[in-house]
Structure 1
């Protein structure tokens, strides 16, 4: 499940256009617990833990909690704001990216913390020109990848580093304007958001690299952005985001690129995550008012459940067993609480 920042992709013109989904009666999700002051959250690979992050003027705060109860396992704070977070597959190491200015220079850095104590294990400086907004551990925990998005002709690279000593393994140029990077569950591939020029205009894309040679093995160039890998690593879920075109969900085979499943949503809808079994997608609005979250069947296009809120909400992750999901709810300008709630099928 791919790590996603909860700042939505904004599209300039909001024109209503019917999509393919069948509306569900709006309701309210059943909450399991809340993390006040946190802005975004993700589940551990095994679904037992939730790692969340929040920032204030004083710096950043990470909270690791039990997924079922919300009991706090570990808290980590930093004088620098956190831009992205990740948890190793063995749940022993937390990673976070910060913009470190302590030396007087601006250094985009990956920080590694030990879960058992909260101690800083290693600080890995990178050559990133922009904030590192996406972060992910390889399944074996030996490498970590962080991505800075392209902005004002700077950034747009994936920085792959060795966890044991911080040495750079590879620097990959993928000039996407939205950061997204994710290792496949078997560790054979690394997928990242990309940007390509098609018919004279730049559109989003996804590029997949082999991790043994770092050669590019697949490029999806028609407005795709990364959502997540399938559990067996044989497929890649993407969302198609193009101006004036209904958002699409696609399941693409690896490494052929053949489309296994395709579903159109509504114009200016977004996709946050897909369940492990591939049957439900957590969808939301990309433009104001952003006050609904929906679980949509990827098989039929029907909306299984729609949740309405009094404030803007931003979706996060779905747990491994598809019984819980995360979202952030606006409490004040630039302030949020993270909520963990039960899915409609739990």
Structure 2
């Protein structure tokens, strides 16, 4: 099923005229639940009860674990080193961060594991990454963790899979993407990562899926796709199609067959940060300035369900598993942000 959002305003207007219902209004800002000042990005725990956020200043990195419903701080981690990525294990017991450790004189891209209940450092795992580890994700059983560095100036472009218990490297996967993105499927059978392939003489974004039992590549989506997320049942993968001069495409692809289950064309220079667990709504934004709107778009009809306007640049984040909350970062000054957790449309 393919839907074009550019046609939907006419269809929505017609539906409103027939039913007498009001069209979705543009709101000043979403209904806010709480704010994390000085934080730059945030994600929900797998069970939706916690939010893990991170931010960097000239003094170093700061990671906060908070209650999703109230914003109450559960744990704070600070580091003199910049934090590049964060992750939380499925059981909410372990926090992972990536940093560039310069204690030896040369930068070593390192995964650090902390006990969430106490903040104690459990393990420091050095990797062979050639660039910053900007992608990070725990396997659902918590036994392994995958970190990815994006390819830049002929360096990086690998997924580093390490064992959590002792830090031993399990696998090194070559995926020369220029944007780091890596996620295990909820059942642990697959690992998806951003990739890059050459099509028609030019390099374009792609997504590759690996089996975790053999680490063999089982699926490649090679037409400008980038990773968004897995479906909760691990049978599908949401991707966004980003190509120069082409409207952004949102797709739900079956794994491992590669069959397209749902396809939606957004507008030129739109981005997608997340899709709800039920697959009904996508959190979208503008990729070019001014980046001052966030939109929830129906993946079924292409209609914009809610659009929020801001006075500063905003960057969308994560949607909670039950779809009731979402995160975004709002610019407060050059290179400074606050994380906001807000109520989704209808909640």
Report matched runs for 1:301-312 at 5 Å. 301-312=302-313
Which residue of the partner structure matches residue 158 of structure 1? 159
Q: Which has the larger radius of gyration?
A: 2
Q: Deviations over 1:271-318 (max 9, x none)?
A: 000000000000000000000000000000000000000000000000
Alignment of 1:204-223 (within 5 A): 204-223=205-224
- 1:20 deviates by 4.6
The equivalent residue for 2:168 is 167
For the 8 Å contact 1:19–1:246, the answer to whether it is kept is: no
Residues 323, 242 of structure 1: alpha-carbon distance in 2 compared, 3 angstrom cutoff: same
Query: How far apart in 1 are the matches of 2:289 and 2:63?
Result: 28
More helix by share: 2
* 1:98 alignment counterpart: 99
Paired residues for 1:100-249 under 5 Å: 100-249=101-250
Q: Is the 8 A contact 1:61 1:75 kept in 2?
A: yes
1:19, CA displacement in angstroms?
Answer: 3.4
Once residues 227 and 274 of structure 2 are traced to their aligned partners in structure 1, the CA distance between those partners, rounded to angstroms, is 10
Unaligned runs of 5+ in 1: 1-17
- Deviation for aligned residue 1:29: 0.2
Report deviation, 1:239.
0.2
**SS in structure 2 opposite 1:19?**
helix
1:51-81 Cα distance to aligned partner (Å, 9 max, x none): 0000001110000000000000000001101
Q: Please list the CA deviations of residues 62-108 of structure 1 after superposition, one character each: whole Å capped at 9, or x if unmatched.
A: 00000000000000001101000000000000000000001212100
Q: Which of residues 14, 19, 22 in structure 1 aligns to 2:6?
A: 19
CA distance in 2, matches of 1:20, 1:143: 45
The residue that corresponds to 1:289 in the other structure is: 290
Answer whether contact 1:86 1:96 (CA < 8 A) is retained.
yes
1:39 to 1:205, Cα distance in 2 relative to 1, 3 A: same
**Partner SS state of residue 248, structure 2:** strand
Q: Secondary structure at the match of 2:39?
A: coil
Which SS does the other structure have where 1:246 is aligned?
coil
CA distance in 2, matches of 1:257, 1:119: 42
Scaled by the length of structure 1, the TM-score of the pair is 0.94
Distance in structure 1 (CA, Å) of the matches to 2:262 and 2:276: 14
Taking structure 2 as the reference length, the TM-score comes to: 0.94
Aligned with 2:242: secondary structure? strand
Over the residues paired in the alignment, what is the CA RMSD in angstroms?
0.9
Distance 1:21 1:287, change over 3 A: farther
Deviation, 1:21, is 5.0
Partner secondary structure for residue 238 of structure 1 = strand
Which residues of 2 match residues 251-266 of structure 1 at below 5 A?
251-266=252-267
Partners of 1:240 and 1:25 in 2: how far apart? 28
Q: Secondary structure at the match of 1:103?
A: coil
RCO comparison, higher one (Cα < 8 Å, 6+): 1
Give the C-alpha shift of residue 171 in structure 1.
0.2
Aligned position for 1:250:
251
SS, match of residue 140 in structure 1? coil
Q: Is the 8 A contact 1:84 1:133 kept in 2?
A: yes
Superposed displacement of residue 26, structure 1: 1.5
